[in-house]
Amino acid sequence: MNTENTAKMDAMADDLPKKLHIAMFPWLAFGHIIPFLELSKHIARKGHHISFISTPRNIERLPKIPLDLASFITFVKLPLSRVENLPENAEATMDVPHHIIPYLKIAYDGLQEPLSRFLETSTPDWIVYDFAPHWLPPIAVKLCISRAFFSVFSASCLGFLGPPAESSVMEDAIYPKGTRMEPERLTVPPKWVPFPTKVAFPLFMAKQLVLGFYEENASGISDWFRYSKTVLGTEFIAVKACMEVEGEWLKLIGKLYNLPIIPVGLLPPSVEDQGGHDDNKDSTWGTIVEWLDKQDKGSVVYVAFGSETKPSPEDFKELALGLEQSGLPFFLVLRKQNSQENGEDLDDQIPEGFEERTRDRGVLWKGWAPQVKILGHDSVGGYFTHCGWSSVTEAFQFGRPLIMFPIFGDQILNGKLLEEMQTGAEVPRNEQDGSFSRESVAKTLRLVMKDVEGQIYRDKAKEMMTTFGDKQLQDRYVDKFVELLENHGQACGDR
């Protein structure tokens, strides 16, 4: 009888999904690290073990893991090697000005050897990686580790970029070799997009994209090369997206890339999990909420540009003066990069007399702020944003319409997609040079926040809550992703 029961239990155990060991390896930017961490937490909730790999300082700056998940997530600290032109203690894009980021990529590439050693000794079942480690897929193949590329960018961004040239006969047939990367081509939707869309770059930004993405930088290779190699080396692409928002684009990239495309949902962070890089988070929120509680419902515009990007000093001054001219109550977050560009001080960016003139209706907050908590407060009626995909996700959880000022790269394409969805309005800019006026800033703010003509933006943003704020819907996407990890690992026999 005991033997029979044991056999039954063994048979039942065979039917249960194997508990996996999954390594996560994001790029060194908090706009990437945080979505990777959110995805890790979801996977850990299914009982799988996560090795979350980054640098010591980045790991120290992460929000605390919920206690019930602490035993399932191990943080693996790989120190960066010293690189010329990279400031000491710079371990993330938020630590350096934009032109120094290629040197951070050199340091990141230096993780190849220590990461290889870790993978060899710990033998995870899967490695989930970002766009930057072009050298990683061959290492994983050799070690018989299954590979998944996780895109923190929107599906529309991937659809606009199209597949790596090496994998696509179609691209050469549509665009003569090399011409796809001409700035003028990037100002209209690609010919492979079969539906009408506004998703494209203004000329001034297209020129920046060619320089910053397609051309070789100080790291010795282009970001396009990195992206191409990581995509070509994956078994499938996981995308921070869902069918309800980007269904057409997800179907398109499935055809373009000739790879399984797995939407993992939008990974909205919960207010309870909100953490930050500030040791005094609780007292910080206490000060902020005291001011927010005194404001009228839906009256405040929250202004923030994320941890990775900031407007130029000239643009910031014009934006601030436009905010002042709008007459709206505001909460403006001004963050410095830890390695300041040109030795610039935060106070140098603020227009002279701005704080004094707006003290009765606005807050200028210097440093980290609990963004999810602020966006969730009833007094906040709109979000003046750079259109980072994670920030957009946070805003739509609470139905906040957007006043958009995208700064570079995928933010531009996100802004065009969101305009199509009528969930916000972009500050008008000159197509040739990107210039704009404080008057247009003030007009766009008033349009989205209070004008009758802007009601469509407020209504459409509220509609987004049914998707972005639906935890059960978003969790189902992650559940399907985890099922794929459980059922489709690389067959290599005993490792």
For the annotated catalytic residues, the residue numbers are 32, 130
Strands 126-129 and 362-366: unpaired
Cα–Cα distance measured from residue 110 to residue 305, given in angstroms and rounded to the nearest whole number: 30
Q: Which of 396, 272, 403, 260 is nearest to 328 (CA)?
A: 403
Cα–Cα distance measured from residue 334 to residue 138, given in angstroms and rounded to the nearest whole number: 42
Q: Which two tokens stand for residue 197?
A: 């869309």
Cα–Cα distance measured from residue 86 to residue 84, given in angstroms and rounded to the nearest whole number: 6
Q: Which of 230, 31, 41, 48 is nearest to 147 (CA)?
A: 230
61 close to 277: Cβ distance less than 8 angstroms: yes
Q: 402 — phi, psi (to 5°)?
A: -115, 140
Cα–Cα distance measured from residue 388 to residue 440, given in angstroms and rounded to the nearest whole number: 22
Residues facing residue 482 across a β-bridge: none
Q: What is the largest CA-CA distance in the chain?
A: 86
Cβ atoms < 10 Å from Cβ of 16: 9
Inter-CA distances, 455 with 323, 420, 458, Å: 20, 15, 5
Residues facing residue 73 across a β-bridge: 50
Cα–Cα distance measured from residue 412 to residue 189, given in angstroms and rounded to the nearest whole number: 13
Inter-CA distances, 116 with 139, 140, 441, 473, Å: 7, 8, 49, 37
* Secondary structure (DSSP) of 238-268: EES--HHHHHHHHHHHHHHHTS-EEE----P
